[in-house]
Each structure stands twice: as C-alpha cells, then as structure tokens.
Chains A and B, each alone.
Chain A
Amino acid sequence: MAMNDVGRPTRLVAGTGAVAETFTGNRALMLEEPLLFERGSLDTSGVDLPPVPPVPDRLGGLARDGVIGLPGFSEPEAVRHYTRLSRQNYAIDLGIFPLGSCTMKHNPRLNEKMARLPGFADIHPLQPQSTVQGALELIDVLADWLMKLTGMPAVAMSPKAGAHGELCGMLAIRAALDARGDERRVVLVPESAHGTNPATAAFCGFTVENIPANARGRVDLDALLARLGPDVAAVMITNPNTCGLFEPDLKTIADAVHAAGGYVYCDGANFNAIVGRVRPGDLGVDAMHINLHKTFSTPHGGGGPGSGPVVLSAALAPFAPIPFVRKTANGLELVEEDTAATHAADSFGRMVAFHGQMGMFVRALAYMMSHGADGLRQVAEDAVLNANYVLASLKDLYTAPFADSGPCMHEALFSDDFLDGTGLTTLDLAKALIDEGFHPMTMYFPLVVHGAMLVEPTETESKANLDQLIGAMRHVATQMLADPDAWRAAPHFAPRRRLDETLAARRPVLGYKDEAA
C-alpha cells in the first residue's frame, strides 16, 4: 500500500473503481492532514512575544524543569490545520444527522445572536444581583414557560444536562422520603427506559429492579403493578420511550405508584415529541428533566454544553436544589442558602456552583419565543410526522419490530433481522451510509431489538431531505441483499475506511507518533 510522507495509506482499495496515488497523499479537495505533533517544530513559534520578566516562584519545588514539547506553528499553518480537519468532519450544518435519541435538529442562528448580547454574554456569576436583574428575569421567564409547557408547579433550573437532571429529580425523591422517615429503597426501571435511569437510581442509593417490556415495546403494565409495594420508592419511566413509542399507561402507572406511596420520575429527554401536545403534570409525573439542548435547540452535537432543568410536583417542590430565582418586593433574588431564613430549609442542597447554563437559557427562551405556543406544538407534530414518514417509507424493506402497534413518535426503530443470511449487520449498513454522505443513525440502541437502528429525522428536515435519506437507505439495503460481499468493506470513500475497533479497544495507542513506538 502506498504511503505519503507521514506513513498514511493513500491508495483506494481495488474494487472502488479508482486508484489515487498522488505525491501529497491528497485526493483533489480531500486533503490529508497529519497530527500537530507529527508536523510541528519545537523551534518555531507563530507569535513574537517579549521575554517573560522574572516572576517570584510560588510553586514550591513543583515547577516544571523539562521541555513540554508543544509544537510551534505560524498562524496560517495553525488555521489550515484545523480547517483541513474540520472538512473531514460531518456536522448538522452539512446535512441531516439522523442520530436517534440525540435530536440533532437545526440550531436557529437567532438563538446565537441573542446569546451573544453583552447583557447575557459578558456578565459574571459573582456580580451583585442588583446588576443582573435582566438575566435573573430571563431565568424566571424561562422557568415560567417550562412550568406551563409541562403543567408542573415548580422547576429546578440548575442541573447541567439530562443525567444531571435525573440526579436532581432522584435526590429530591430521596429527600422527600427521608423527610417522612420512609425507608423504601427500591426503584423500578422498565426495559424501555433510558440507560442512564438505573445508573442514576443506583448512584442515589436505591436498589434497581427491571420491569420487562411487552410485545408492543411498551412497559409491561401487569408486571409493574404486580411489583408495587411498600418497598418501592419510585418508578423511572421514559416517555416517549427509547423505542420511540408513547407510553399510554403512564397515568394508570402514576396513580398506582402514588397509591402505593411512591413517586414517578419521568425521563423527559424525548419531550420534543410531545411538547405543546401533552403536559406531563396531567399524567401524574412527580419529576421530569427537560433537555433544553435537545427539545429547544441549543448547539447540541457540538459538544455541548447541555442544560437539564427539572420540573417538580407540589410534593417534591420544597426539596428543590439551591440556588433558585425568587420574586421579592425589591425585584428578583437568587436564593443561595438552604436555611430557615431563606425559607429553603427543606432543599436537598446545591448541585452546581452557580445557577445553571445561562447561555443555554437564553437560546432556549429565544427558541420558545420565536416559535410561540402554536409553533412549539407544530415542532412536536412535525417531528412525529417526519419520523412516521421514514418508518412508512422503509418498513417494507427494513424490519420494523413495532410498526404493527401503530405510529411511532419522533423516532423510527428498525432491526437488522432483514439482513439474516447475508452475514451483514447493522454496522455494515451504517458504514455503507457513510459512503452515501450521511451520518449513520444510532446503532445497537435500544437493546430490546436485535441490531437496532434508531432514526430521528427531527422536524427541521424538509421532505426533499428525508426523501434523499430514505432513497439512500433503500438503495444500500437493496444492494446489500443482492450482493452481500460487496459491502463488507464499506465505507470506500471516507477519509479513513473501516477501522479496527477491536484492536483499538484491546491495544489502544494513546500517544502521538513518537511516543507510540
């Protein structure tokens, strides 16, 4: 195999129709790019700084005495490095990102403009509260929207992401149990719940028990009701669940759990499918986190940050974490102490240093206000419509295990049973989709179906975009069934082809080239 000057293969493998051997290793506009450490020189620097003046050493013998070994680059070299790498990436701004359970929707630029207003972007958490009344008001207005949309009387704004929100809700449940001297410690988690749910419950000191799913991909109601008793602290249920299906028995479940003295935690990560249509408060939910970064379009997929406010029922509201915003006669205040003096003595305490993800709050409120109530309702309706369009367009070719039980919600679930006998699996199909220029769907999750493929198109894709994805998925599946051997080595056109995941996991090389040997 041909190598370029940094030892990378440059030849396309036979069978793809093209053999590209160039001096540089580049293939026209597909540019090769070594690591910074492979090409930088320790002797050069992109900037000309004055010598460091002598400063007193306060490190007490811990000062570094060796060379760090950071490579130096001129500014254009550094800019080109990252630009070249970014061109090998896939992003929501390049095309549809049908990653189920992740809600990779378009991030409106208006949100970004609002988040950059100096009154929101340039303030400090330790500023006097009298100087940030506008920011506190924004938190208060957003909180009001969240309570209205969910039909819940209270909300904790500080949790920083979905799983952190789960932690907040379960700590509130734990605090409520402790406050009434209740020793119950079992949390029931259905198979159709998100995987973080049992982890959260265990972290809060609960014992987790599984409740099976029924043949329709929903919670097995009879099994759950049979297990309720005086030792059950809570049920954690995801609605819509990880199969992209609505849990129609949630109200029945909540009433039974409450009658048995327990609480209901709802994983609201999929709230984008029901926002404006269903109020979880009406279904008897005691606590639910809302992923602002999914449902209300903050820059999710760029690595965050996330934000996971938790709405709480009247029973759990007194235990909400500090700090929180409260209206007073003199304006808004941030309650920072969980004492009797601040009327927050029942609070279970503080989860984060400050009040939450301010930038995400601004983006989420901008999203809500620009959509309005009718627009938010249409978000849910279009997300569900798009997912059902994908499901209906593929279910004759792909195995759709729950299609017979009615429409899905915001994501369409398939299994790889239709590939039986070809020796190909979901992984091969996902790799083939890369050649078609799509980020693959979520694979092998949820675990309840074999070789799961979870497609979440979101409401921001047009019919034309969906038709392209559907066309590619039909083409790939049809070809794989007709000529399985041609697809074992896909992708053929990606900057890197099929990577050896097993070797990478068994013998990871964590250093750059010079250290790896």
Chain B
Amino acid sequence: MSRLYTQDHEWIDVAAKGSGAEATVGITDYAQGQLGDVVFVDLPDAGRAVTKGGEAAVVESVKAASDVYAPVSGTVTESNPALADDPSLVNSAPEGDGWFFKLTLSDASELDGLMDKAAYDAFVASL
C-alpha cells in the first residue's frame, strides 16, 4: 500500500493500482497543525461521486472552516463514523484513526500527479 499526498494537504492510501481500487483519504499532520483544534467534520455520504480537486468534506476548527478536496475522482464508499463523536481524532491521529472517507477510484491515472512522502515533506518545508 502506498501513501500519496496533494498540495492541498490531503493524503490518500491506495490498496492496489487500477480503476475500481479502494482508497482511503484524510488530511495530513501539517494540515491539522495549521487548523488547530478540530471541532466538527462534515463527511460525504456513501455513494456520492467526487471529482479530483472538487470539494468532498468540510473540516471546522476553532479558527476556521476549510474545504477538503478529493485527491482523485471516484465514488465514496464509506466515511469515518468515529469522527462524528470525536472530531479530535483529526488532531491526535490525522494519518491514522482520523481518516475521512474511503472511495473507489474511477481513473487510476489521476494518481500520477500526486506526491510521495519525500516530495510532500519537501513541499511543506518550502511553505
């Protein structure tokens, strides 16, 4: 399983390459640090079609509400039920238990434009 990153600070885990594969999406540790204490997360319902770069979820912290974009196009299969009760998971485990939603990829080639961990770390360091 490989983890890829966007310039908008989402991460995506892809189980296998290829259209129809399932992937998990969340926001990065850097993103949660910038947001501050997360108080609410609005997640997409299963079955919703999302497009790469389009708005898929909303995360609200004491500072601001921010859109979370879909790293790739696909159909949402599940959203993280734990976040409704405990949005602080986004702060404590952004790249683990604080995942946002899962989707099936409609176009695996969209993964090609995303960054690997080394590239993302370099990107964050440049900010």
Chain A residues with CB under 8 A of B64: 444, 447
Min CB gap B123→A, angstroms? 17
CB–CB A502/B37 < 8 A: yes
For A501, give its contact among B40, B62, B87, B88 (CB under 8 Å): B62
Alpha-carbon distance A506/B39, docked complex (angstroms):
5
Query: B63 on the interface (CB 8 Å rule)?
Result: yes
Alpha-carbon distance A502/B87, docked complex (angstroms):
11
Chain A residues with CB under 8 A of B37: 501-502, 505
Alpha-carbon distance A444/B34, docked complex (angstroms):
12
Min CB gap B87→A, angstroms? 7
Min CB gap A383→B, angstroms? 28
Chain A residues with CB under 8 A of B87: 506
Chain B residues with CB under 8 A of A447: 64
Interface residues on B, range: under 10
Task: Please give the number of chain A residues whose Cβ is less than 8 angstroms from any Cβ of chain B in the complex.
Answer: 6
| Residues of chain A in range 473-517 having any CB-CB distance to chain B below 8 Å | 501-502, 505-506
Nearest opposing residue in chain A for B86, CB measure: A506
Nearest opposing residue in chain B for A425, CB measure: B36
Alpha-carbon distance A505/B88, docked complex (angstroms):
11
Min CB gap B33→A, angstroms? 12
Alpha-carbon distance A447/B64, docked complex (angstroms):
9
Nearest opposing residue in chain B for A506, CB measure: B39
CB–CB A506/B63 < 8 A: no
* Chain B positions 69 through 102: 1 when the CB is less than 8 Å from some CB of chain A, otherwise 0: 0000000000000000001100000000000000
Count A-B pairs with CB separation below 8 Å.
Answer: 15
Chain B residues with CB under 8 A of A502: 37, 39, 62
Chain A residues with CB under 8 A of B39: 502, 505-506
Chain B residues with CB under 8 A of A505: 37, 39-40, 62
Chain A residues with CB under 8 A of B62: 501-502, 505
Chain A residues with CB under 8 A of B63: 444
Min CB gap A418→B, angstroms? 18
Chain B residues with CB under 8 A of A506: 39, 87-88
* Chain B positions 31 through 58: 1 when the CB is less than 8 Å from some CB of chain A, otherwise 0: 0000001011000000000000000000
Min CB gap A498→B, angstroms? 12
Min CB gap A500→B, angstroms? 9
Alpha-carbon distance A501/B40, docked complex (angstroms):
13
Alpha-carbon distance A502/B88, docked complex (angstroms):
10
Min CB gap A209→B, angstroms? 13
Alpha-carbon distance A80/B85, docked complex (angstroms):
42
Min CB gap A266→B, angstroms? 26
Alpha-carbon distance A128/B40, docked complex (angstroms):
52
Q: A444, A447, A501, A502 — which one has the most chain B CB atoms within 10 A of its CB?
A: A502
Alpha-carbon distance A447/B63, docked complex (angstroms):
11
Alpha-carbon distance A502/B39, docked complex (angstroms):
7
Min CB gap A425→B, angstroms? 9
Min CB gap B102→A, angstroms? 25
Chain B residues with CB under 8 A of A501: 37, 62
Chain A residues with CB under 8 A of B40: 505
Alpha-carbon distance A409/B62, docked complex (angstroms):
30
Alpha-carbon distance A221/B87, docked complex (angstroms):
40
Alpha-carbon distance A502/B40, docked complex (angstroms):
10
Alpha-carbon distance A505/B39, docked complex (angstroms):
6
Min CB gap B110→A, angstroms? 21
Alpha-carbon distance A505/B37, docked complex (angstroms):
10
Nearest opposing residue in chain A for B91, CB measure: A502
Q: B39, B40, B87 — which one has the most chain A CB atoms within 10 A of its CB?
A: B39
Nearest opposing residue in chain A for B37, CB measure: A502
| Residues of chain A in range 408-463 having any CB-CB distance to chain B below 8 Å | 444, 447
Apart from A444-B64, A505-B40, what are 9 other A-B pairs with CB-CB below 8 Å? A444-B63, A447-B64, A501-B37, A501-B62, A502-B37, A502-B62, A505-B37, A505-B39, A506-B39
| Interface residues in chain A, defined as those with a beta carbon under 8 Å from any beta carbon in chain B | 444, 447, 501-502, 505-506
A selection of 15 A-B contacts at a CB cut-off of 8 Å is: A444-B63, A444-B64, A447-B64, A501-B37, A501-B62, A502-B37, A502-B39, A502-B62, A505-B37, A505-B39, A505-B40, A505-B62, A506-B39, A506-B87, A506-B88
Q: Which 5 A-B pairs have the closest CB atoms?
A: A505-B39, A502-B37, A501-B62, A506-B39, A502-B62
